[in-house]
Chains A and B, each alone.
Chain A
């Protein structure tokens, strides 16, 4: 028995040694605060989001934008000298952990407002708790449409978003395909996860409203590595453009399979195509006519270029430009509201967010991002289609 235990220890050690030599992209950091020390007076804005797991790049990207916004807010004197402290916890993309961390942020850390979680499912699971506790939350991602509409009929809805929501993204995609480019043969390829199925429902519903039938609808499973069969059928049907709804690893496999069967349609999808994980896996294939929804690209204007340079100066890279920009804007929305009404009354913070009318966003969000009935800062008119050029995300011409 002792020997078995010894072997078990050895096995654990060898597993960890062998796997630890691999490249790891994820950080296990759980807390990130700005320059304010504990002895100083500060208020907390918090976040429970994916810093590891499938959506880690979204979490890390936005976290950097939020850190920048907090740093600038504090450098400008904070709120009457009281500085902001940003606490970010890693929910590992697990709903139960996310809920636990949200409760901790509210009850223990006394957060005055929160920034949303990367995973829509996690967001949907915890917003009721914040609604009950009257704490405002601004999502810089988490694009499920229901997040901002779940409490829209209540006297006060505490959930806001500055990210392209799913239905808005679909509208933008369909406008680009049918109005701008006049495609007639369009296919839909989606994964069978909640995200892909949600995308399918939105696409089919909006196509129905436009009296259009997709030429083909095909699906793939999470973890699938060969989509040749689905794509061969689409190739045979002469489909010119394919709407892809899935996540980075499988979307990269879609491009790989298309390349293999020598099929060159236009691929268009949600902002998931902009995920650095997708580019990392797909490599040069990203330059093969891939189009997707964005609210921010570095080449958009001088302001976006300047913001990009600021991010590069701070972090030596701009790993996920749109996530960082939306994180920056989301944090600035909260901090602008606090600057107006202080941080002591969370309900007032929520009201100030809704009433904000002089906001200066780095994304395409307007100066008055929200109204009582609209908690989406980015409407379809603020979304646009981008593409990859030499591996860089640029506005699609």
Chain B
């Protein structure tokens, strides 16, 4: 049971990281990138390609890994910028829900291109931290999983602080609260929207590098991950980063613990939980209750 909980926390922290991408764009633009899972897949593929190429060139693992992270951040920033320009900006009005279709369409295009140019085959992503298992009594963990846990918590805390304390974070919230008033105060809502999408895509890319060595990499990698991360955001509350973290970890733990009882019910349990939360607490466990006006 303890092992199942530990494994659940590891995968759950990645769900939370991806889900924070939903949170940031939702905060700034009230839109989400429904292709977040596929954006993660692109990050994983770029990460694996760069990492293996650098290793082939004989670069030391640690340098190869650092350059890989940098390359993924740059590439994902470009992709995030382009997603905002193509799927969100032309729709003019954030209140329209056409962005659901446009982001899904872009994600399908991205997945198909990845399939055509990279192949549909699953590829192993060697962890830069090796594959020696660390054992503590009954518990066992890969060094990469420790890295995932620590990095996720650092990123989430940094993001949390940035959003609460920095001028940028406040600008984001100002735009979310009242776009026109924020604009009058000298904040450029369009720029804020772009930055939000860039951060969201970069988070997914880093998630891709982190999850690659756990799941291996293939163009269809992102679909289920994106859905479960969305579940994490729904369960925790789309407007509360702490809630999202709890939502992600809960989904990870629940699916592992349920699998311990009956493996066939693993996915069912997650989606059932999402449904229950949507019915009883539509704003999520820690989300603000807001009455929508039409």
Expressed in whole angstroms, the minimum distance between the Cβ of B274 and any Cβ of chain A is 17
- What is the size, in residues, of chain A's interface with B at 8 Å between Cβ atoms? 50
Contact at A229–B4, with CB atoms within 8 Å?
yes
Contact at B75–A14, with CB atoms within 8 Å?
yes
Within 8 A of A (CB), among B107-125: 109-110, 113-114, 117-124
Stretch at the interface among B151-159, B216-224, B241-249: B216-224
Contact among B90, B109, B124, B141 for A12, CB-based, below 8 A: B109
Question: For A249, what are the chain B residues with a Cβ–Cβ distance below 8 Å?
Answer: 122, 216, 218
Stretch at the interface among B43-51, B177-185, B229-237: B43-51
Contact at B259–A229, with CB atoms within 8 Å?
yes
Expressed in whole angstroms, the minimum distance between the Cβ of B214 and any Cβ of chain A is 6
Instruction: Give chain A's interface secondary structure class.
Output: helix
Q: Does residue B79 face the partner (Cβ distance < 8 Å to A)?
A: yes
Contact at A221–B120, with CB atoms within 8 Å?
no
Question: For B216, what are the chain A residues with a Cβ–Cβ distance below 8 Å?
Answer: 225, 249, 252-253, 281
Question: For B256, what are the chain A residues with a Cβ–Cβ distance below 8 Å?
Answer: 226, 228-229
Contact at A19–B78, with CB atoms within 8 Å?
no
Question: For A192, what are the chain B residues with a Cβ–Cβ distance below 8 Å?
Answer: 264
Knowing A14-B82, A233-B260, the reply to whether A228 touches B4 (Cβ < 8 A) is yes
Stretch at the interface among A3-11, A77-85, A328-336, A364-372: A3-11
Contact at A11–B79, with CB atoms within 8 Å?
yes
Expressed in whole angstroms, the minimum distance between the Cβ of A45 and any Cβ of chain B is 27
Expressed in whole angstroms, the minimum distance between the Cβ of B35 and any Cβ of chain A is 11
Closest to B52 in A: A23
Expressed in whole angstroms, the minimum distance between the Cβ of B268 and any Cβ of chain A is 10
B83-113 to A contact mask, C-beta < 8 Å, 1/0: 1011001100000000000000010011001
Contact at A4–B86, with CB atoms within 8 Å?
yes
- What is the size, in residues, of chain B's interface with A at 8 Å between Cβ atoms? 53
Closest to B8 in A: A226
Question: For A121, what are the chain B residues with a Cβ–Cβ distance below 8 Å?
Answer: none
Question: For A283, what are the chain B residues with a Cβ–Cβ distance below 8 Å?
Answer: 124
Question: For A232, what are the chain B residues with a Cβ–Cβ distance below 8 Å?
Answer: 3-4, 260
Within 8 A of B (CB), among A1-38: 1, 3-4, 7-8, 10-12, 14-16, 18-26
Expressed in whole angstroms, the minimum distance between the Cβ of A60 and any Cβ of chain B is 11
Q: Does residue B53 face the partner (Cβ distance < 8 Å to A)?
A: yes
Contact at A221–B267, with CB atoms within 8 Å?
yes
Question: Of A15, A26, A220, A281, which is in contact with the most chain B CB atoms at under 10 Å from its CB?
Answer: A15
Contact at A18–B215, with CB atoms within 8 Å?
no
Bound-complex Cα distance A391 to B3 (A): 30
Bound-complex Cα distance A51 to B259 (A): 35
Bound-complex Cα distance A16 to B42 (A): 10
Question: Of A10, A226, A281, which is in contact with the most chain B CB atoms at under 10 Å from its CB?
Answer: A226
Bound-complex Cα distance A262 to B142 (A): 12
Question: For B123, what are the chain A residues with a Cβ–Cβ distance below 8 Å?
Answer: 22-23, 25, 280-281
Knowing that A22-B45, A220-B263, A225-B11 are A-B contacts, what are 8 other residue pairs whose CB atoms are under 8 Å apart, sorted by A's residue number? A16-B113, A20-B117, A20-B118, A228-B3, A232-B3, A253-B216, A281-B123, A281-B124
A–B Cβ pairs within 8 angstroms, 21 of them: A11-B79, A15-B79, A18-B46, A18-B49, A19-B114, A19-B118, A22-B48, A26-B121, A52-B119, A219-B263, A223-B220, A226-B7, A228-B3, A228-B4, A229-B260, A229-B266, A249-B216, A252-B124, A260-B142, A261-B3, A262-B140
- Point out residues on B near A: beta carbons under 8 Å: 3-4, 7, 11, 42, 45-46, 48-50, 52-53, 75, 78-79, 82-83, 85-86, 89-90, 106, 109-110, 113-114, 117-124, 133, 135, 140-142, 214-216, 218, 220, 224, 256-257, 259-260, 263-264, 266-267
